Amino acid sequence: MDKPGPMESFPRDKQGYWSPEIGPPSPLFSWPPKPVLVLKYLFGFPGYLFPWNVIFCCVAISTWLFFSPALSRCVTFQPAWIIEIFVRNLVLLSVFYGGLHYWFWSRKSQGLGYKYTSEWMEKGKQGFLWGNQLRDNIFWCCCSGVSVWTAYEVLMMWAYANELLPYINPREHPVYFILLLVFMPIIRIFHLYWVHRLLHWPPLYRRVHYLHHKNINVGPWSGIAMHPIEHLIVFSSVLIHWIVPSHPIHMLMNTQDNALPPALGHIGFKRLVLKGEQWVPGSDGFHQLHHRFFECNYGERRMPLDYWFGTYHDGSPEAHSKIFMKKKPSKT
């Protein structure tokens, strides 16, 4: 029997969905500008920086300082340093994804509290490898996801080592360095929105993106459970560093932002209760609605591209009617 959770009594529909309204997008790009709201969003809790972006910035910096091969070793492609990066990324993914899955899905530490669906992982369902959603997701994340993620980082490390990329020294340009690091997720989200729209183009959806959308009741390991071609497309946001002057820490922030936060976006819980009344934000439900209805919420709330282009679903019946008045969700 599931452990009782703090919000199990919240209303669910006949299919077991709890759909709290999400609200408007972030105020970062609002017009006219709202400086007070922007400051609260940037520095408040939960907000843009705290807690997760600060955590991921620290992970990127620590990765560069302690767990990356020296650039002098990366001038030529050698198995030793390439394997080091692969193992490092595999450990990062396994610890983050595996920890979230164990605590909130396997151990069910908060039961159905703050959970968007009343179901857990699919077992014995045709369409997943070995008839098991979790094993299927882990396979695609680790075998394809980590491999493509590593391949992009190897290419970039080689390019930095051979001075092929525009490079900045953080000591000479500290303000630019910090600003680029802080807003790297926005760059990544801009890229994600457009490639995600591309992946819903029927020929690509049927051959590639369908694999990710087998996950309707998503969990942490659904985060980058994708076709290898989709991994190549999604992680290609790192190629911006061939144009924009940057440091390898920015590159690592970019690739890790494609790899690690999707576990949170797919975790299936609005809040992650740590102890008593202590909690950190999980998924705001924005991407959960995309997996449920397919043709909405292609990006993230931090950048209002869905709001501007008419694909913003806030969970309300009004938004649902507006989006799907003329277009039914694609399930093929």
Domains held by the chain: number? 1
Encoded tokens for 46: 């939960």
- Domain presence at residue 243: yes
Query: Residue 112 falls within a domain, yes or no?
Result: yes
The tens place of each residue's pLDDT in the chain, 332 residues long, gives 344 445 455 678 888 899 888 888 999 999 999 999 999 999 999 999 999 999 999 999 999 999 999 999 999 999 999 999 999 999 999 999 999 999 999 999 999 999 999 999 878 788 899 999 999 999 999 999 999 999 999 999 999 999 999 999 999 999 999 999 999 999 999 999 999 999 999 999 999 999 999 999 999 999 999 999 999 999 999 999 999 999 999 999 999 999 999 999 999 999 999 988 899 999 999 999 999 999 999 999 999 999 999 999 998 888 888 888 755 544 43
- Contact assessment for residue 257 and residue 61, using Cβ atoms and an 8 Å cutoff: no
Q: Is 185 exposed, middle or buried (0-12, 13-18, 19+ CB in 10 A)?
A: buried
> Is 191 part of any domain?
yes
Note the pLDDT of residue 9.
52
pTM of the model: 0.93
Residue 57 is assigned to a structural domain of this protein: no
Q: Kindly state whether residue 42 falls inside one of the protein's structural domains.
A: no
Query: Would you say residue 49 lies in a domain?
Result: no
* Owning domain of residue 193: 68-324
The answer to whether residue 2 sits within a structural domain is no
Percentage helix, strand, coil for the chain under 3-state DSSP, each rounded to 5: 55, 5, 40
Instruction: Return the bridge partners of 272, or none.
Output: 280
Contacts of 318-322 spanning 24+ positions with Cβ under 8 A: 320/293
In a domain, 26, yes or no: no
Query: Residue 271 forms beta bridges with which residues?
Result: 281
Cβ 219 vs Cβ 268: under 8 Å: yes
The label of the residue with tokens 């940057």 reads: 246
Check if the beta carbon of residue 284 is closer than 8 Å to that of residue 214. no
* Interatomic CA distance for residues 56 and 189, integer angstroms: 15
pLDDT at position 326 is 54
- The two structure tokens encoding residue 28: 């970062």
**Cβ atoms 115, 17 nearer than 8 A:** no
Question: Is the CB of residue 255 less than 8 Å from the CB of residue 244?
Answer: no
Q: Region of 115 please: left (phi>0), alpha (psi -120 to 50) or beta.
A: beta
Residues written for the chain: 332
Quote the CA–CA distance of 311 and 323 in Å, as a whole number: 6
